[in-house]
Amino acid sequence: MHQFVITRRTIYEFPNRTHVSVFEFSGLSDEKECVLFLFIFFLLVYMVTIVGNLGIIALVFAFSSLHTPMYFFLSSLSLVDLFYSSVITPNTLNNLFSFRKSISFFGCALQLYFFSALASTETLLLSTMSYDRYVAICHPLHYTLIMTKKKCFGLILLCYSLCFMQSFVHTCCVFSLPFCGPNLIDHFYCDIPPLLKLSCSSPFHCTMVTGILVVACGIYTFIAISLSYAFIFLSIFRMTSSNGRRKAFSTCSSHIICVSTFFTTVFFVYLRPHSGVFRIQDKMASVFYTTVTPMLNPLIYSLRNQEVKQILIQVIRRSLNRTPP
């Protein structure tokens, strides 16, 4: 007969079985000296993320010169980044100084659902933005006819609908499994791989379902971005004007950097052989794409996009020249 070391706070009993009601995180580091540094780091990154993404949304909303499909998608990406970071960072900040780094069963399910949905939405938005750049560079004369307001709203709605439905399947699949203990998640947030390791039944079918959905989303995103930029580069190389080439490259450079930073860390965490243990390198990569990348996206577009940079300079000058009442 199996023996379980249980407490009322972490496990409640059903007839003939026990069930985890609270999960605990292993966290980022066991070193007490690192806690203050990590808290300051996460807090500063989160503050910059909020200010940067809200700033992009406000600029696009306030200035009519930015009412174009490119900036509409950029503001949508900023909105996703804002919520995406908020799903992970506040709870991580709270747990850094907590004796028990815990989250309820229902809270873990909600965190996984929104994290998975928003991460998938970000990937589809990045692929949609690559299609927008393809139309702008390869079909500039027909850009306004192809990228209509109705089509842009439709693409955004499609991204959200597909990703939130996919995340619903992920979450239902994972949390339909029995969790009888232990309840320690070897991570700093609720993610699918460490949760599947805690199930007291075979997670094979759940692994297959989530794997198929993730691979399908990844393949679609890879093909969409690769084809878009293949046509973009062919079009750029055919240009006779060096100024035209430089302008075309500058309109794509911000998006290329955002795509590269996001997918490099995602591939490092999820698409390589695992030893079965989440090492510190895996956790640091997770920190990068869950916390740092949402901060970098608005900064990259602000610093590398001339139009956004000029508007930011105008706003700063106006605020500095405004005389107090």
pLDDT, one tens digit per residue, over 36-55 is: 899 999 999 999 999 999 99
- Percentage, residues of the chain above pLDDT 90: 44
> What does the pLDDT read at residue 277?
55
> What does the pLDDT read at residue 324?
54
pLDDT at 26 over 80: yes
pTM score, whole prediction: 0.87
Instruction: Note whether residue 51 is domain-resident.
Output: yes
Q: In 109-134, which positions are buried (b, 16+ CB within 10 angstroms) versus exposed (e)?
A: bebbbbbbbbbbbbbbbbbbbbbbbb
Instruction: Note whether residue 223 is domain-resident.
Output: yes
Banded pLDDT at 314 (limits 50, 70, 90): confident
Q: In 275-303, which positions are buried (b, 16+ CB within 10 angstroms) versus exposed (e)?
A: eeebeeebbebbbbbbbbbbbbbbbbbbe
State the average pLDDT over residues 13-35. Answer: 73
Banded pLDDT at 128 (limits 50, 70, 90): very high
pLDDT at 159 over 50: yes
Lowest mean pLDDT among 1-5, 82-86, 174-178, 289-293: 1-5
Instruction: Note whether residue 138 is domain-resident.
Output: yes
Distance CA 73, CA 94 (A): 32
Instruction: Note whether residue 16 is domain-resident.
Output: no
Mean pLDDT, the chain, rounded, equals 85
pLDDT, one tens digit per residue, over 100-126 is: 888 999 999 999 999 999 999 999 999
Contacts of 125 (CB under 8 A, 6+ apart): 73, 76, 77, 80, 156, 159
| Structural domains counted in the chain | 1
Domain housing 256: 24-321
Banded pLDDT at 271 (limits 50, 70, 90): low
Banded pLDDT at 9 (limits 50, 70, 90): very low
Instruction: Note whether residue 86 is domain-resident.
Output: yes
> What does the pLDDT read at residue 6?
39
Instruction: Note whether residue 5 is domain-resident.
Output: no
Distance CA 287, CA 283 (A): 6
- Token pair 């200035």 is found at 63
Contacts by 253-259, CB closer than 8 A, 24 or more apart? 253/304, 254/300, 254/301, 254/304, 254/305, 255/126, 255/129, 255/130, 255/133, 256/229, 257/300, 257/304, 258/77, 258/126, 258/293, 258/296, 258/297, 258/300, 258/301, 259/126, 259/130, 259/225
Distances (CA, A) of 160 to 67, 153, 154, 285: 21, 11, 10, 25
pLDDT, one tens digit per residue, over 198-254 is: 988 888 888 888 888 888 888 899 899 999 999 999 998 888 878 878 877 877 888
Report the CATH number that the domain containing residue 88 is assigned in CATH.
1.20.1070.10
324 secondary structure, DSSP code:
P
Per DSSP, helices labelled H in the chain are 32-62, 69-96, 105-138, 143-146, 149-175, 192-198, 204-238, 242-270, 280-287, 293-304, 306-321
State the average pLDDT over residues 53-79. Answer: 91
State the average pLDDT over residues 302-318. Answer: 78
pLDDT, one tens digit per residue, over 85-101 is: 999 999 999 988 887 88
Banded pLDDT at 13 (limits 50, 70, 90): very low
pLDDT, one tens digit per residue, over 203-219 is: 888 888 888 888 888 88
Distance CA 251, CA 173 (A): 41
Closest CA to 58 of 70, 46, 75: 75
Contacts by 115-119, CB closer than 8 A, 24 or more apart? 115/84, 115/87, 115/88, 115/189, 115/190, 115/191, 115/290, 116/166, 116/167, 116/170, 116/171, 116/192, 117/163, 117/164, 117/166, 117/167, 117/168, 118/80, 118/83, 118/84, 118/87, 118/163, 119/84, 119/266
Instruction: Note whether residue 203 is domain-resident.
Output: yes
Instruction: Note whether residue 169 is domain-resident.
Output: yes
